[in-house]
Amino acid sequence: MSRATLTICILTVILTACHQKKTPPPPPVAVNVMTVEKQGVLYYNKYPATTQALSQVNLVPQVQGYVTGIFFEEGTNVKKGQKLYEIDGRVYQAAYDQALANLRVAQGNETQAQQDADRYAYLNEHNAVAKQQYDHAVITLQNAKSDVQAAQQQVKTAQTNLGFSIITAPFDGTIGFSQVKLGNTVTVGQTILNTISTNDPMAVDFLANEKELGFFDQLQGKKAVAIDSLFTIIMPDNSIYAYQGRISVIDRAVNAQTGSIRVRLEFPNPKQELRVGMSCVVRVHNQEATPQLLIPGRAVVEQMGEYFVFVVRDTLIQVPDSLKKKEKTESDSTEQKGPSPHVFQRRVTLGQTIGPGVIIKEGLQEGEQIVVDGVQQLHDGSKVAVGKKPAAGKPNDTTGVAKDTAAVKYNKE
């Protein structure tokens, strides 16, 4: 091929490319939108929790020996002072009897020393006895009195040990499975015989974020104010416990590693439905009376730990002067196209999640329109076709799947 022919081919390709039509812009994305409105909301903040006994103690023997008696039924309620275990007390009974005998001997010696001291005191007054004998008699009396005191303490110790051979309930509560059987040997301060815990009222502990500490301090200060369903719990079978609780204790310090603080509630437990160690969910009634901005959760997009929504605006498209003549030639369009809806990404701060909806704390204003269906195909500045996206539910429906009316309720103001 000659150079001239090659040049003609290249020019032909260039001219053909110049006369090709430009690629048409992508069509608008079909979306559904909703107008953001403030609503009165009723919801519960939920916290995983565990039930605890207000008082719980391990029964540990104070004397060593064989278990010779068990006087309770496992898993039942016991009363304070009720006899629970007996440890072989024969050795301690013998020690007690010996201590009593030693006390009697000491008391007899004291009586004899008192008589001798009185006699020598009389003789000393009449100079009828040596001074040394009188002094020895007084010292012997003092020693005899000290022996009596020592013997009395030995009796108390022996009596205490004998009493420790009988183990009784320290308070009213529920006793668990016995860790020892008849004939087992127990060791002082080491062998755990059983565990007793109180059951009415019952404590429920949960961890709250340190940012909520002021909120719970306020609730604790309002003990005289009765608020319906302020503190309730969801049982392991997802039923709602019939009784409401109150704040008992807020821990003294925040955990520096987790930024959380332990809060303890008290719940009545007359039917003993709550048992120590149960897992449950604490619900704290929302007392926010101000209407909130509530939008469907599907309208929110998460990017790198931040949350965004797409706000719809009508944008007026300006036509460049260089294209005005061409557009008039090719079509009957005007110099300025009419408003066209576009979407713009807006960062928001989320609040409480309520069923399929979420509260927006910052980033949106009442009356603005946001996309609720079709957000996956959008980017900042996308052109949209409003109301042409098949939706799973109504565009402004934030409550369609909220069935737990005891926990979630929406009321439009």
Tell me phi and psi for residue 104, to 5 degrees.
-65, -40
Domains 26-41+291-411 and 89-164 alike in fold: no
Q: How many residues does the chain have?
A: 413
Measure the CA–CA gap between 1 and 297, rounded to whole angstroms: 67
- Both ends of the chain: CA-CA distance in Å? 82
> What is the Cα Rg of the chain in Å?
44
Tokens 């100079």: give the residue.
127
Per-residue pLDDT tens over the stretch 176-211: 999 999 989 999 888 999 999 998 899 999 998 888
Task: Name which of 29, 9, 6 is nearest 373 in CA terms.
Answer: 29
Contacts of 412 (CB under 8 A, 6+ apart): 37, 39, 40
CA dihedral 59, 62, 66, 69 (to 10 degrees): -50
Q: Measuring CA to CA, how many Å separate 49 from each of 8, 59, 215?
A: 83, 27, 18
Q: Is 72 helix (H, G, I), strand (E, B) or coil?
A: coil
Answer yes or no: are the C-beta atoms of 380 and 342 closer than 8 Å: no
Contacts of 186 (CB under 8 A, 6+ apart): 61, 64, 65, 66, 67, 87, 180, 193
Q: Which CATH class is domain 89-164?
A: mainly alpha
Q: Measuring CA to CA, how many Å separate 99 from each of 20, 104, 110, 111?
A: 120, 9, 16, 18
Task: Name which of 403, 97, 406 is nearest 228 in CA terms.
Answer: 406
Q: Measuring CA to CA, how many Å separate 87 from each of 64, 91, 187?
A: 8, 10, 11
Tokens 């940012």: give the residue.
211
Measure the CA–CA gap between 372 and 396, rounded to whole angstroms: 8
Q: % helix / strand / coil in the chain, to the nearest 5?
A: 30, 35, 40
Count CB atoms within 10 A of the CB of residue 139. 11
User: No. of H helices and E strands in the chain?
Assistant: 5, 24
**Which token pair is 190?**
């080491």
Q: What does the pLDDT read at residue 333?
A: 42
Secondary structure element (H or E) that encloses residue 155, with its range: helix 131-164
Q: Is 312 helix (H, G, I), strand (E, B) or coil?
A: strand
Report whether CATH 2.40.30.170 matches the domain 45-55+197-285. yes
Measure the CA–CA gap between 194 and 338, rounded to whole angstroms: 83
**Which token pair is 124?**
């000393």
179 burial class (0-12, 13-18, 19+ CB within 10 angstroms)?
middle
Residue ranges, the chain, pLDDT below 50? 224-225, 228, 317-320, 323-336, 393-396, 398-413
Q: What does the pLDDT read at residue 194?
A: 93
Task: Name which of 6, 163, 171 is nearest 85 in CA terms.
Answer: 163
Q: Which CATH class is domain 26-41+291-411?
A: mainly beta
Farthest CA pair distance, the chain: 165
Measure the CA–CA gap between 83 and 20, rounded to whole angstroms: 103
Side-chain-side CA neighbours of residue 364 (13 Å)? 33
Measure the CA–CA gap between 328 and 292, rounded to whole angstroms: 50
Whether the predicted model's global pTM rises above the 0.75 cut: no
The domain spans of the chain are 26-41+291-411, 45-55+197-285, 89-164
Q: What does the pLDDT read at residue 21?
A: 56
Answer yes or no: are the C-beta atoms of 66 and 304 closer than 8 Å: no
